[in-house]
Each structure stands twice: as C-alpha cells, then as structure tokens.
Structure 1
C-alpha cells in the first residue's frame, strides 16, 4: 500500500505558490456549491504516522475553506459515555449533515489500529472490527455520502528525522509528546497493521489515498486536488442517494395470498380479574430484573410497532409503571425533522440509544423505513430494500454491546380497529388519538399487512426476534408483552 509514497515526491516553492491560489479559490467555490446544491455530505478521514503532516493538513483545509461549513472532530480515547454504547456510536453522533464537510482527525480506524498495535486485540478481533467498518462505510456511501480517506505516510527514517526537527524548533516542540515516541518505537507494528487494514478497507466507493508526508507542498496540493476533484465529480452526478444495489429479490405477495398475520388468533381470552393479578406479578418481576446488579452491564431497548389503535401507548404505560423514571426514556417517533433528514436515516435512532443500565422505549421505530416509507412511497425501493440489511446490522451492534432488544408488533383486526376509532371520536379526552392519517392508513390495510410480513421474515433473528402480539383483547396483549420482556431479561442476565 505504501510503495508509491516512498519514492520521494516533492513540489518546489514556485510551483506551489502558482498553484495554491487557484486551487484555494476553486475549493471555496465548490464548498458553496456543495452547501447550495448538494444532497450529500463529505466525510474526510485523516490518518497516518505522527509527524507526517496530519494536523497541518487539517488546519490548512480549515484555512482554505470556510470553517463555518466544516465540522472538524478530533477523536481521543473513548470516554465513559462512549464506552457504555457500541463502539461506532460516537462516530455516528458526529456525522456531517448533507451539504457540509465533516473532518475526522482519527476515527474508528484509530481504534482498530491501536488496539492491534498495543495487543488489546488479536487478528480475529481486528478482522471483526474491519468487517464492522466495511458495513458502516457501505451504509454511508449507499446513502449518498462521499467518503475520502487519507493516510499520511513516512518511512521510519523520515519519521525519526521529522520528530527530531519538531523537538528542536521552539515553535513546534510542544507538539511532540511521549505518545509520539511510543508510536515511533512501534513503527513496524503500526505499518504492518495499517497495511492490513488499508488493504481490506480499500473499496471502490471509499478508497484510500496514501500521501507522501515528507514534503509539505506536495502533501497540501495532493489533498487539495483530491478533495476538489472528488467533490466536483460527485456534484456532476445525479444528486441524492446513490443506492442502486438491492439486497433481496423483488418482493411479491404469496400466490395463495396467505400472510404471516393471517395465522394469528387475534381474540385471546383474559378477564379483568386475571389481568390485574398477572399485571401486579409481572410488574414486580420487571422491576426486580431492571434493578438486578448484572443489568448494569446491559441496556434494554423496547421497540413497539403495530396497527393504529392497537394499544401501543397503553402497553407502554403498564411497563413504565414498573420502572424508576430516572432510568428510562420513552421516545415517540414521528416524521423526521430537517436535521434528521440531513443525516443518514439511522442517525436519529442511534442518538437515543441508552448506555449501560439504561432503558429506552420506542413508540414507533426504525422499522418505519420498511413500513410507512415503503407503503407510502417516501423511500425509493432500493433504499427500503437495503434497509433490511442495515437494520439487522444496527441491532446486531446493539446486542453485541449488551443491549436486550425486544420488538413487538401489536396486531388487531380491521373490525376491532374501526370500533376503537369510533370510540376515540366519541370520547372527548381520547379525540387527540385519532387523526386523518389514521383513516388514510386504513385504506392501505393490505399493503401494510404485506410489508409487516416481509419485515418479520427479514429482520427476526435468533438474538433479536419479533414478538407478534394478538391485541384485540388489551388485557391479554399487555400481559404477553410484559412476560416477553421479563423472559428476555432473565435469559440475558442468567
């Protein structure tokens, strides 16, 4: 990966002085075109050897461009908040919005590289991190992001010379730290691991650019021109999502029209007396499980979907009655805000994920991508088809980090829904629960039923299965939900 960066690239001062003003002007113009016209973000990742000009290049980009339109983030060791969540969480939180440039000084690649260099991981663990990175970058690029990855390179001799020069100069001596020399002592390990990482993550959609870091003029023009040409080419393409690949064949309804929801016996018996007895018992059980010492190493994510008027809100209230209000959040999901639309679609759910010991309850979820966005045509077919894979990956990362994820689809019959709609309209304090959208959704009952069947088939996994709840009887539904949560927690805490 590094051979071409070791042949001695350089640009003389005269050439640099002639090229720099034109390049700077072109980049600035392009940045404003990006802001005004683009439906995609630019993410720049800066990595490489200490002393190879990473910091100087980061500062130079901010100097040449308008820094108000650049989100520059320097990542250090993960803090307690980040360690309580999946390792990619903190990078999700800093992703740039559409029309902006995000610049990461260090990133998830630093985690993978230095875990390996300092023997915090073995080769198998490193390759797992690489696989996580590939899935993450695939999601970004399929969502339309332009990802530029730079490795600033020096030979061992060049790095030693550069660090010594910086130490002797009073203006830069403060920048050379003990860590820089520790990394220098591990130059061969860093190089070997970096070659492995770069080779496996050098994809067509997000390739690595290896930059000779010895000569500042060459380095600056290389990065500037790479950024200019990459953004210019993307602006010339059709804007918006570049997703064309579909992870599944065309989805058709079964030939006999029999769907998964058709197999449910929606009217399940339970009277009020039995309900009250079971409710008290299960709420106590849930309270004890969430106070268990081992729960501090886990989190609980409850995902509620279902037909309109199926009883999601009532079920959620019976759960929260058993919990300490300081430890849970209920997150209702509606149409995305402008801020959320400007980020990758899963960002607005990542931001609400609880840390260890926390609980988040979602009233509607990320499954809207394959339900309402599919049925109503808010997402392109390629985008919602791709979402099945992205959802499974999302939930896998949460589960691997200790989250107990319990997903519910509350199903009621069309007749029961009509009765509940009319009941809400006739009850003053319940009228707010019924909207024009609820009536419109009834007209697409069959389309939603097919979408739900496909959703369950494609996203119900052994670790994060779907629970289908027969909800014509609210008493039965609430008890089944509470029991399912308790059973799931007991398995993970055992």
Structure 2
C-alpha cells in the first residue's frame, strides 16, 4: 500500500478547482447530510509532520462550526488509560447530521508501537473493525485518509519546524523516532493499513509531498465519498425488510425450562443473606484494590424484583465503590447518537463497579417489541452487543448479566399489590400494563436475547424470581463465585 506507492504518479483530479470552491462544495454536502440526519466520521492520519493540521484546517474552513467537531487523539490521559480502549473514541462519535473529524484515531496506538504484533495486534484490529462496522451499520459515512510522504520530505519539515521559534514545540519524540527509523515505520504502517483496509471502510492514501495538493485532494475526495455514502444509505433504506434473510431463529426457550417453585425458608434466607452480603463487600473491596472493573447488568420482566436484588447485593458494600445506572428512555441528545453511545459513557474505569438497572438490551427487547427499532437494527444488535461485551472482557472487566423471571400470574399479583400499597404505587406505570398486554411478544424477544447473547466472557444468569428471597440469594452467590474466580486469575 505504502511501499509500492508511486509519488511521481500522484495525480490530483481536483487541481482545476480553487481550495475555497472545494470547501464550498463540501459545505453544501454538510447541509445535505444535516437534512438527511446522516453522521459523518473523517479520520486524518499519517506520518508525523505530514501536514495533518494543514489538511484539517482547510477541510473545516467553509463548514458550519455548529455541526462539526475536531478531536485530537494522541497518548491517552490517565483517565483514558483506566477505561477500555474504545471508550474515548465512542465518546467522540458524530451525532446524527454532524461531522466528527479525528486528528489521528483508534489507529494511534497501533501506528506508534513498532513492537505490537501477534495476538495483541489482532485483538486491537478486531476491536477497531467492530466500532467501524457498528457505525457503518448505523448509517455513518466513514472516510479514512493516510497522509504519505518521503523520508527526505519528513526531514525537511522537521528541520523547518525546529528553526521556527514559534512552532518548534510542535516537534515531538514521535517525529524524530519516525524519521530515525523511517524504513521500519514504513513497513509497520503498511502492515497496519493492509489489516485495517476493511471492505466496508477503505483507506485512502494521499501524497502530502505538496500540502496544498494534499489538502485539495482530501477536500474533493471527502465531498465525493460523502455523496457515495448517501447513495449507499438511500439504497439500504429502499431495500425493504430483511426478514426473509434471518437465518438464525433459536428454538431454545430457556425461560420455559425454569423451575419457579424454588424457595428458601425464612430462617435459611436470613442466615445466608447476612453472611453473603459481608462476603460480597470484601470481594468488592478486593476488586477495587486490584483495579478490576465490574459491570453487572440486571434485566427481567416487569416487577420481577431487579431493584430488590440490587439493594441486597450492595447492602454492605462501600457506596463510593459502585454506582447504579438506571436506564430509562433515551434523551434527545442520546437519540442523536448510536444507541450504544450512552452506555459507553457510563462504563467503569479500573476498580469501579457499575450496576445497570436495565441496559443496552432494551434494543432487542422493548425497542423490538414496540417497533422503536427496525428489524434490521435490532437483528444486528445481538452481534454488536456481543462485540462490545467482548471488548470489556478483553480490558479485564468482570461482566455478569442477571435476568430475573417470574410468570404471568405472579406478575399480576405483584401489580395488584403495588396498586394497594402507598409505598409501592410509584413503581407501577401505564407502561407496565402495556407491556403485560404484549407478554408473549416480550417473552419471545427475551428468549432469543438470552440464547444469542449468552457468551463465556459475559454470561447470562437466569434467576428464578417467583420467591424474592431465593432470587436475592442466587444473585449474591453468583456474584461471589465469579468475583472469586476473576480475583484468582489475577493472583
């Protein structure tokens, strides 16, 4: 890709246009994608001192600043290092109808580590491919540029910056290191570009021997690629339902196999609860001191007892070490982004515990049943969620998902109980009754979710919730078992 690049054969098909004219064309494209509510992600990467700042400056000059944001990704901060690899990038993805321009990107770590190879390289490439594919499936236009230059050009630019008292600060150790080991980096970049030149998001190598030519070419290509992306997205929308293409309809119905008669005697519950809560507290402290992030997900049918289980689990834990994240309908800002965006923002850093009372699984349950997501959207969400949870696991996160189930009769009894008790009436909403009317649809969605997203690294624990006491003890025991296991792996 780079080693075979012919600088002498560089052609700029946009050379007949003035830079301002190219910028105005891109500005019109920006208004179009704003009207169509399509997000655009532009990545500008390349050699150090290759003119990334120059190119980005021209790229945004004629754009409406209310609808673009430039983010610079270099060495991660201490806060960013304490989070999963993709966390900082998810926080900067474009909203619908906006541009996000990355000066460097997810590729920064790979490009600047000559020693990365083997399993670590493949894992990072897989993580990057997942975020790009997920954004693309969410109708994001992704454009990736790599600015290429000759060794002597890099030397000249470094020397020019060194001689400029006002810009010498722009020279970093990376500039010097890349120049000192130009051939090694050339081969390294070539390898990374080849591995990440995905069919769904290709790299566009642009010669930056002449920065103005490079800038004009990036401007012109961005405009053309945006229009190609719009055509692709419009074609997707006209393609109709993919229902007939669904080749995976799990026959398993794990909820039908539960023994809802499981119970504990009051004395046994009281004895176990106190002991297990103290043990859970000690394990939570050990997870914190060893820097192990923890994600606990609680899902289930309405009135199954998620809140009560969370309360008993955390009863003796230090409240400074955990946070319960209650997931409700997305805000206007959250609806303006990919559905996973708001959850990435809440993922724990090292040592923290985040407990999600409902979660990203709303995509394949309530949004599916209520028609708030198209079938194409919720059907692909299973793979997207599995990829996200695998990414958390690869970071060393303990991921546990509890699904608490009660039958339809028990739910009705609890609804009526809430109606008659002043302390519980706030828990009962019109939405609960509407969901009950679609009980069979919800159970079908829940069964499919449990089968398709139960993985070794993020297992579902189905909890028999007919007796609340039994459910709470099972949650405590399961947390303790898995916390002990991951702590043992760290010793």
TM-score, length-scaled by structure 1: 0.92
CA distance in 1, matches of 2:406, 2:235: 38
The alpha carbon displacement at 1:69 in A equals 1.9
Aligned to 1:200: 195
| 1:29 counterpart residue number | 28
Counterpart of 1:408? 402
Q: CA deviation at 1:241?
A: 7.2
Following the alignment from structure 1 to structure 2, what is the Cα–Cα distance between the partners of residues 225 and 125?
A: 36
Take 1:384 and 1:88, find their aligned partners in 2: how far apart are those partners?
Answer: 22
State the alpha-carbon separation in 1 of the partners of residues 335 and 5 from structure 2: 41
Mapped partners of 1:18, 1:292: distance in 2: 63
> CA separation in 2, counterparts of 1:33 and 1:379?
24
Alpha-carbon separation, structure 1, partners of 2:214 and 2:253: 60
| Residues 178 and 406 of structure 1, relative CA distance in 2, 3 Å threshold | closer
CA–CA separation in structure 2 for the residues paired with 1:143 and 1:18: 33
- For residue 178 of structure 1, report the CA deviation from its aligned partner: 3.9
Where does residue 49 of structure 2 map in the other structure? 51
Secondary structure at the counterpart of residue 423 of structure 2: helix
1:100 aligns with 2:103: no
Note if contact 1:246-1:386 (Cα within 8 Å) is conserved in structure 2.
Answer: no
8 Å contact 2:298–2:401 — kept in the other structure? Answer: yes
SS at match of 2:404: strand
Q: 1:259 to 1:218 in 2, by over 3 A?
A: same
Q: Give the deviation of 1:101 after TM superposition.
A: 0.7
Query: Which runs of 5 or more structure 2 residues have no equivalent in the other structure?
Result: none
Q: Is the 8 A contact 2:288 2:321 kept in 1?
A: no
Judge which range, 239-248 or 128-137, deviates more.
Answer: 239-248
1:190 to 185, 193, 202: 185
**Could you tell me how far apart the structure 2 residues matched to 1:52 and 1:132 are?**
27
Give 1:166's aligned residue.
Answer: 161
- Give secondary structure in 2 for the equivalent of 1:64: coil
Aligned to 2:470: 476
Contact 1:10 1:217 in 2 (8 A): no
Q: 2:323 aligns with which of 329, 345, 350?
A: 329
Indicate if the aligned counterparts of 2:250 and 2:448 stay in contact, CA closer than 8 A: no
Change over 3 Å in CA distance of 1:252–1:114 after alignment to 2: closer
Alignment partners' CA distance in 2, 1:165 and 1:391: 48
Judged with a 3 Å threshold, the aligned counterparts in structure 2 of structure 1 residues 203 and 179 are, in CA distance, closer, same or farther, namely closer
1:407-462 CA-partner distances (Å, limit 9, x unpaired): 11111011111100001011112111111111111121112222122111111112
C-alpha distance in 2, partners of 1:303/1:248? 31
| CA distance in 1: counterparts of 2:43 and 2:254, whole angstroms | 45
Aligned pair count? 485
Helix, strand or coil: the match of 1:462? coil
Partner secondary structure for residue 292 of structure 1? helix
Q: Distance in 2 between matches of 1:355 and 1:471?
A: 31
Q: Identify if the C-alpha distance between structure 1 residues 130 and 209 changes in structure 2 by more than 3 Å, giving closer, same or farther.
A: same
Q: 2: CA distance between counterparts of 1:279 and 1:102? A: 50
Separation in 1, partners of 2:15, 2:454: 57
Q: Which residue of 1 aligns with 2:336?
A: 342
Q: Distance in 2 between matches of 1:252 and 1:234?
A: 31
- CA distance in 2 between partners of 1:232 and 1:42 (Å): 11
Give the drift of 1:138.
1.0
Matched, 1:454 2:451: no
User: 2:108 aligned with 1:114, yes or no?
Assistant: no
SS in 1 for 2:262: coil
Matched residues in 1 for 2:12 and 2:249: separation? 60
Against the structure 1 CA distance between its residues 240 and 77, is the aligned structure 2 distance closer, same or farther, given a 3 Å change threshold?
farther
Correspondences of 1:35-434 after superposition (within 5 Å): 35=34, 37-115=35-113, 117=114, 119=115, 121-170=116-165, 172-236=167-231, 238=233, 249-250=246-247, 252=249, 254=251, 259-292=253-286, 295-434=289-428
Tell me, yes or no, if the aligned pair for 2:52 and 2:147 is still in contact at 8 Å.
yes
| Aligned mates of 2:244, 2:221 — CA distance in 1 | 31
Residue 294 (structure 1) shift: 7.0
Q: Distance in 1 between matches of 2:236 and 2:421?
A: 45
In 1: Cα distance, 2:417 partner to 2:480 partner: 32
CA RMSD of aligned residues (A): 2.4
CA distance in 2, matches of 1:136, 1:432: 39
SS of residue in 1 equivalent to 2:320: coil
TM-score, structure 2 normalization: 0.93
Change (3 A) 1:331 1:205: same
* C-alpha distance 450-11 of structure 1, shift in aligned 2 (>3 A): closer
Runs (5+) with no aligned partner, structure 1: none
